[in-house]
Amino acid sequence: MTRNRLRSTPVPGVRDAYTGIDFNLGFHVRAYHLDLSYRVGPNRLDGTATLRLDNWEPLTAMTLDLAPSLRVQRITAQGSAGVEVRVSRFRQSGGKLRITFAQEIPVDSEFTLVIRYAGTPRPIRTPWGTLGWEELENGALVASQPNGAPSWFPCDDTPDEKALYEIIVTTDNPYVVAVNGTLLSKKTAGSRTTWRYQVGNPMATYLATVQIGDYVPLLLSEEGAAVPVRAWVPPALRDSAREEFADQARMLELYTGLFGPYPFNSYSVVVTEDDLEIPLEAQGLSIFGANHIRGDHAWERLIAHELSHQWFGNSLGLAQWNDIWLNEGFACYAEWLWFEHSTGRHAADSAREHYAEIAAQPQTILLADPGPRDMFDDRVYKRGALTVHALRVLLGDDAFFRMVRRYVATGRHSVVEPIDLKREVLAEARAVGVPEDEVKNLWRAWLHQLELPPFPEPRR
């Protein structure tokens, strides 16, 4: 039988208000098995995607997201528990793969779709730039937030629909393939190698990634560490990367103490030979450009930021994009927490500095719903971090970090909404004698008003 949706509130309408893309309604994808063959030189992708689904509505037809640069060649279906599922026709239009079944699939059925497709993968043009599969000078990378996943596989591309994954990539030697999850096997046959990875925890489509390049491995943690920390880097950048990421394992240790256990089996960073405007997070993995690797720790805050997303954004996923401050606010605050630990500069000092910067800008950001144009605006990130700091000031350090660890544990490998955080804040406030009205006033002022509230000061 089907499980409930990961989110606690119903889907708002039939279209994602942020991406402008229609939801794919009536079913859940529980697991993706992606068997990909990629030729680096011609940028050619041939794929077979096997999707395991169940449906919460009777289905005579359904849609998936898939970019028009990839053309579906064949779809077969298989039902289970005596349910016959047969595809009568399919077509692609408007970034959708539209599938019609020969007869209605009864509610709460389990079935499998096997989709063969091929083409030249290209990034998808979006209001936030081009997203998804990107051909590099010497390889490829995938960076999909918020809606670039259809550039390389057919999927239900919405953040609250997490699934399990097995990703198999066959490509030319001597390229390395780095993917989310655990490397199960690596087999070379002639001039090509097949890499098989398994993602054992639910993952949002935008966090699925494939990184292909001429990389060498670099161990960033101690041998035998409970959570291995590794890097894949171009050979020429090995020494600079070792210095740049020298504190990566210590950051993980700090965040584990503050937020709770690291949510995945390992953590990796990939450094591309190309420059990137900003680093990018994926589940269990972060991507940096060659321009971020100078060996002088100039990008230390971003190294801390991307790691913290493994808790805030990857394990604790978003239900919908208007809540992006839950990801970015905590990740920015984690930067300040790292420097509080490593340099002694209290997070309050960082908060005050960024408060002054925001105060000097137009007060046009509603944190609870910034809108698609401003969802990646730095004011969302920093006002989100200031909101987290205000909660710390209100509760006090012990209660605040106790609340954060409970919030992280409760939402582990699921999705969260602001109401989930507020519930934990209110519970901790009652435990330490903070009036409920103070929590509600803080929440309203920071999330639901345009005007910047006064800087949060400790009680005297």
Q: What is the pLDDT of residues 348-389, one digit of tens each?
A: 999 999 999 999 999 999 999 999 999 999 999 999 999 999
Write down the pLDDT at residue 11: 61
Write down the pLDDT at residue 82: 86
Write down the pLDDT at residue 1: 32
Write down the pLDDT at residue 213: 97
Q: pTM of the prediction?
A: 0.96
Structural tokens at position 452? 């910047």
Write down the pLDDT at residue 59: 97
Give yes or no on whether 1-132+141-205 and 316-447 have one common fold.
no
What Å distances lie between residue 365 and 108, 266, 373, 405, 451, CA to CA?
42, 36, 11, 28, 9
Question: Distance between CA 260 and CA 408 in Å, rounded?
Answer: 7
3-state secondary structure 234-276: CHHHHHHHHHHCCCHHHHHHHHHHHHCCCCCCCEEEEECCCCC
Fold classified for 215-310:
Zincin-like (3.30.2010)
Tell whether residue 84 is among the known ligand binding residues. Answer: no
User: Is residue 117 annotated as a catalytic residue, yes or no?
Assistant: no
Q: Cβ–Cβ contacts within 10 Å for residue 423, how many?
A: 14
Tell whether residue 305 is among the known ligand binding residues. Answer: yes
Write down the pLDDT at residue 327: 98
1-132+141-205: CATH superfamily? tricorn interacting facor f3 domain (2.60.40.1730)
Q: Which residue, 208, 316, 220, 215, is CA-closest to 262?
A: 316
Question: Distance between CA 32 and CA 233 in Å, rounded?
Answer: 28
Residue carrying structure tokens 């497709």: 117
The residues with which 283 forms a beta bridge, in sequence order, are none
What Å distances lie between residue 289 and 149, 278, 348, CA to CA?
20, 8, 30
Structural tokens at position 131? 């997203």
3-state secondary structure of 223: coil
Fold classified for 316-447:
Neutral Protease; domain 2 (1.10.390)
Domain ranges of the chain: 1-132+141-205, 215-310, 316-447
> Over the range 7-34, which residues count as b (16 or more CB within 10 Å of their CB) and which as e?
beeebeeeebebbebebbebbbbbebbb
User: Given 273, 281, 300, 306, which residue is catalytic?
Assistant: 306
Give me the half-sphere count of Cα atoms (radius 13 Å) on the Cβ side of residue 10: 6
- Residues of the chain predicted below pLDDT 70: 1-12, 460
Q: What is the pLDDT of residues 297-315, one digit of tens each?
A: 999 999 999 999 999 999 9
Tell whether residue 292 is among the known ligand binding residues. Answer: no
User: Given 335, 381, 407, 424, which residue is catalytic?
Assistant: 381
> Is residue 435 reached through a cis peptide bond, with omega within 30 degrees of 0 on the bond before it?
no
User: Is residue 355 annotated as a catalytic residue, yes or no?
Assistant: no
